[in-house]
Amino acid sequence: MSARRTLAAVLLGAAVLVAQGAGTPPAAGGATAATPTLPDLGAPAAPPDGAPPHVGRIDRAGLRTHAYWLADDARAGRYTTSAGQQATAKYVADHWKKLGLKPLGDKGWLQSYPLRRTVLDAATAVAFGAGKFDRDLAVLATGETKVALAGKFVYCGNGAAASVPPGLAGRIPVVALGAGGGSGVGNDLQAVQRFVDVSEQLHKQGATAGVVCLLGDKTSLGNTLNYRALLPDHPQLRYGSGGGDRGLRVKLPLLVLSAAQGRSLLAHCGVTVGDDGAIDAAKPNDKAAGKLSIVVKEDDKGVGSNVVGVLEGTTKKAEAVVFSAHHDHVGRRLDGDAFNGADDNASGTAGLLEIAEAFALGGPRPARSIVFLSVSGEELGLWGSDWFAAHPTWPLDKIVANVNIDMIGRAGRDGDGPITMQVTPSHQHEKYSSIVRDAVALAKGFGIAFTSGDTYYERSDHYNFAKVGVPVVFFCDGEHPDYHQVTDTADRLSYDRMEAVARLAFWTGWNVANDKGKPTTLGPQPGW
């Protein structure tokens, strides 16, 4: 047996110990990569004085094993309804089943919610010479589309007005886009305008569709497609009465090729691309010809899924505390690189799994019941938690509190100073409650200091509980340069700090679950 495997086995062994208490994670949605040699995490911290014994069951090794599985490339960024998201839902359900929780979904562990879809059909492709590209592509289109073009490719430079020739009717225009500028999710969302501009210029010259060779597929122009375009196993989804063509306002459908494939189509058109991704020379080959097929269908067959389980309490078991964390993220980029979403939100999901294990196996049961809610659709608009709040599988008036964790893996720390995290509703917020007050007090025992996270009050799943009058507390580490980037990977998480935050979340909910009274809303206060 090899060292790495031994290491992996040792790590898995630990995981299995954890998991066997909790069930062996199935390698679904594509085989999980062998766990690399990982740095030593050090021993779990000693729990603070007065902490319930359960807290010791939440440890950095268990958190890391879950986070690495959830954020593995094989999960392909866990886009809602994708194979990776469904495998993740099964991973969570299997874990809870092994813990002896009871399913609290519609029929079993899953709570499903309907979605309308705009789907990329497998017939979508561009073909020329011996080549045919029908994977690693994206399509920008506004609804149902059927394009079948056969004819000459016309090279249109970068798609700006000056480089798009007239007379494109019946032709297949080919545009080369280099690197998109800027970084960060805000910039990514705006980057799509570049594609809209290209579609307008091609449309002006009579085109009915176009091909974009995205040489800058690792930049904001590549990132933006995950929010607005159709990719294989990545339909555009709509929830409830929400309308609006997420495919935005392109004037005509655009098929976008990854840099690798784009280079070979451009070569066929007589355009050479340098190693730096810039156009070297363009001697348009007017014999270049091929076929373009874009097929986009709409249906209402989309199904989003939440995973719901319950640990029944003792003396007050009709009432419950809901622990929640979303497990979905934004998928895989055109170039094949996954948005691993390690902090967002493999960290919170790992926390939720360890917290469930602590409640189930760490010591006596609490007075009130504990509902564990792992939702999808969060990145798309808090859909999964909205559905649960509208179709609760536990009576809403019996839910006394919600503890939500989203991005707990990148807490800050200045030298030996406290671990810094954000919490909302803060003491300045009208929804400030006794839960937050008590959590901030408990946090000192873990060396955690909070600042206001009210910026995020409406940006994660607790908000749907707050909207229906449930007192909430939301822990998050705030945005960082890897937020919604392919660089949000499991090796960048701080597992010792994550351990502290997950334990604090546990203890916060444990106290509410055993309290004689129910949490109260305090409203704005001068201090925590």
Cα dihedral across residues 326, 327, 333, 337: positive or negative: positive
Q: Which tokens hold the place of 122?
A: 């497998």
Site for Zn ion in 285-344 (CB under 5 A): 344
Alpha carbons 101 and 93: distance in angstroms, whole number: 9
Rounded least distance, CB 205 to Zn ion, Å: 42
Q: Which of 30, 38, 36 is nearest to 78 (CA)?
A: 30
Q: How far is the CB of 407 from Zn ion (least distance, A)?
A: 6
Q: Nearer to Zn ion by C-beta: 344 or 488? A: 344
CB of 378 to Zn ion, least distance (A): 6
Q: What is the spatial distance between Cα 457 and Cα 489, in angstroms, rounded to a whole number? A: 25
* Cβ-based nearer residue to Zn ion, 32 or 345: 345
Residue 428 or 487 having the CB closest to Zn ion: 487
| In the complex, minimum distance from the CB of residue 345 to Zn ion, in angstroms, rounded to a whole number | 4
Closer residue to Zn ion in complex, CB, 223/345: 345
Q: Are 360 and 100 within 8 A, CB to CB?
A: yes
Supply the minimum distance, in Å, between the C-beta of residue 266 and Zn ion: 37
Which residue number, 94 or 406, has a Cβ lying nearer to Zn ion? 406
Select the span of 149-157, 399-407, 414-422, 433-441 touching Zn ion (CB under 5 A): 399-407
Q: Are 229 and 139 in contact (CB under 8 A)?
A: yes
Q: State how far the alpha carbon of 510 is from the alpha carbons of 281, 323, 496, in Å.
A: 66, 11, 21
CB of 227 to Zn ion, least distance (A): 14
How far is 11 from 422, CA to CA, in rounded Å? Answer: 31
Q: Find the part of the chain contacting Zn ion (CB under 5 A) among 140-148, 277-285, 403-411, 446-454.
A: 403-411
- By residue count, the chain amounts to 528
If the CB atoms of residues 306 and 369 are measured against Zn ion, the closer one turns out to be: 306
* Cα–Cα distance for residue pair 132/126, rounded to 1 Å: 6
Minimum separation from the CB atom of position 476 to Zn ion (A)? 8
Q: Which is nearer to Zn ion, 345 or 376 (CB)?
A: 345
**Interface stretch with Zn ion, choices 97-105, 193-201, 401-409, 517-525 (CB under 5 A):** 401-409
Joined together, the tokens standing for residue 75 give 């999960």
CB of 462 vs Zn ion, minimal distance in Å: 12
If the CB atoms of residues 368 and 462 are measured against Zn ion, the closer one turns out to be 462
CB 385 to Zn ion: min, Å: 11
Phi, psi at residue 175, to the nearest 5°? -115, 145
DSSP secondary structure code for residue 49 in this structure: T
3-state secondary structure of 342: helix
**326 burial type by CB count under 10 A (0-12 exposed, 13-18 middle, 19+ buried):** buried
Q: Pick out residues in 117-146 that bind Zn ion (CB under 5 A).
A: none
Q: 89 or 288, CB closer to Zn ion? A: 89
Q: Which ranges in 71-206 belong to alpha helices (H)?
A: 83-99, 185-191, 193-204
Stretch that binds Zn ion, among 173-181, 259-267, 398-406, 448-456 (CB under 5 A): 398-406
Site string for Zn ion, 334-363 (x = CB under 5 A): ----------xx------------------
Total chain residues near Zn ion (CB under 5 A): 3
Q: Strand 172-177 to strand 210-214: parallel, antiparallel, or no bridges (unpaired)? A: parallel
Nearer of residues 319 and 406 to Zn ion, judged by Cβ:
406
- Tell me the window of 300-308, 402-410, 432-440, 474-482 that interacts with Zn ion (CB under 5 A): 402-410
In terms of CB distance, is 345 or 489 closer to Zn ion? 345
Residue 370: other Cβ atoms inside 10 A = 27
Task: Point out which residues pair with 238 in neighbouring strands.
Answer: 116
Q: How many CB atoms neighbour CB 129 within 10 A? A: 12
At closest approach, how far in Å is the CB of 495 from Zn ion? Answer: 18
Phi, psi for residue 61 in degrees, rounded to 5: -65, -45
Helices (H), 56-155: 60-70, 83-99
Q: Is-contact 32 24, C-beta < 8 A? A: no
Which of residues 72 and 344 has its CB atom nearest to Zn ion in the complex?
Answer: 344
Site for Zn ion in 186-225 (CB under 5 A): none
Q: What are phi and psi of 219, to 5 degrees?
A: -115, -170
Phi, psi (rounded to 5 degrees) for 177: -110, 130
> Shortest gap between Cβ of 239 and Zn ion (angstroms)?
17
Q: How far is the CB of 406 from Zn ion (least distance, A)?
A: 4
Q: How far apart are CA 163 and CA 272, in angstroms?
A: 16
Min dist. Cβ of residue 500 to Zn ion (A): 20
Nearer to Zn ion, 78 or 268 (CB): 78
Structure tokens, 80: 């809602």
- Identify the residue among 188, 386, 406, 515 touching Zn ion (CB under 5 A): 406
Q: Is residue 126 within a helix (H) or strand (E), and if so which, with residue range? A: strand 125-128
Per CB under 5 A, residues contacting Zn ion are: 344-345, 406
